[in-house]
Structure 1
Amino acid sequence: MNKINVVIIEDEVPAARLLHSMVARLRPEWDITILPGSVEEAVEWFASHSHPHLIFLDIQLADGNSFDFLSAAHPTSAIIFTTAYDQYAVRAFTVNSIDYILKPVDEQRLQDAIAKYEQLHNSDNALPDDYLSTLLDALQPKEKQYRTRFLISGVDRFWSLQVSDIAYFYSENKITFAVTHNNQEHIIDLSLNKLSEQLDPDRFFRANRQVILCIDAIHHAEPYFNGKISVSVQPPYKSKITISEEKLSAFKRWLNF
């Protein structure tokens, strides 16, 4: 097999370095290059270099997004998307790209994505002629109806809980709770992963494995250990809510949207 040339386009330097080390550990024979995580610089690089076999492409870049890059660079490469935004995972990337990986990157998930690429590469099947156009179509902003309410069941009645009344969701012992702005708790019959697909990403952010935050609930954020930040919410959460260094840029973009 010819040497596989790989490019990583990621706007967060620690995340790019981590992904590089993980890919290099899994496939030490691959030639891996990290590009600056901006649309402009990545497009310039592709205009003056041979296109790699594979790109690990972050959805959100420093000065735009992957749609802007793909539209301008017209890469002939296979694409594996990386994203900190769960909602992108429902946009059929497994059909239109090789795969997608949610950040922070799980090594087994990365291994599966690489294996999927290799299966295609080893089969000598060229990428479809419409590969790039279907990617661009998948990345086009689309109107989506997000959830507006939940049906809550009590001992002797049902009622509707409006999403606009919810400050945050959290998971504990595999049970999902919704906490309202007036500090009432309700059990929701959905996992946080499912909720991430159904909630408006302009208003809700997956802080970590345990918590999804509403923008209206955030009181302030402050530095924490190891590059993390701590977020305070109203009403107060029972423990400290931290945002990892890998998700920090995405969180700041979300706050500033």
Structure 2
Amino acid sequence: MPGTPETDKPYADRPFRVGVQLQPQHADYASIRAAVAGAEEAGVDIVFNWDHFFPLNGPADGAHFECWTMLGAWAEQTSRVEIGALVTCNSYRNPDLLADMARTVDHLSGGRLILGIGAGWFERDYDEYGYSFGTPGKRIAALGEALPRIKARWARLNPAPTRDIPVLIGGGGGERKTLRLVAEHATTWHGFGSPETLAHKNAVLDDWCAEVGRDPGEIERSTGAHGSPDALGPELFALGVRMVTVGIDGRSGYDLGAVRDWIAFRDEVNARG
């Protein structure tokens, strides 16, 4: 396996982690449950689903299941992995309700929930479930209004969350707005794009951290694993990426082969200290 160059990024001083996104499409629930068990046994750090109402690829009206009821089941099924959505759509639930849902799953899991959240983008979800799609700018603005409400509701709930629930914000297309929200609110930023794109957006995020008075080292950098660790691992590591997530769905039978390759990469780079 290729070496991993050292990096002086302030956000790189943390262990490398591996997630799997079990996309809840084109499968029966028994297959999803078995995939969750297999992922935890394989040694992943986080098991994610996603927050949509219809498949994003493959047959458009194929089998599909809802996000948050599933996370409640995963909280009871698992014992070690963190769980969450990659990501929850802010538009689909009142922010105070979402805060209470997250607090409840946090307790069900014994403090293993990550609140992954984003502004939303899949128009069919909005149209068929009666939400206003609006514009990207309005959806990002709504996310900016929701995040303080979520944290304020957590402070008022009885019982309180078991921990400061980590907040993962996904996105960065509207980087001047989204990445400012990351700097203000997130513990993890999940970005999309090529290594070159991620490097640029990391720099923009660092600038926003300086603007709002946040230590950039407090924000974990995350992305999807769209390739093998032999090909991508060293470059992503050098960029300061410290979490990658492999996405799989029912059409593959929830094949964990690529996940295991990234787990081996994780264990090697973390063993180097």
User: Shorter-chain TM-score: which interval?
Assistant: under 0.3
The normalised TM-score by structure 2 is 0.26
Structure with higher helix content: 2
Name the TM-score, length of structure 1 as normaliser: 0.27
Q: Which has the larger radius of gyration?
A: 1
RCO higher in structure (CA 8 A, sep ≥6): 2
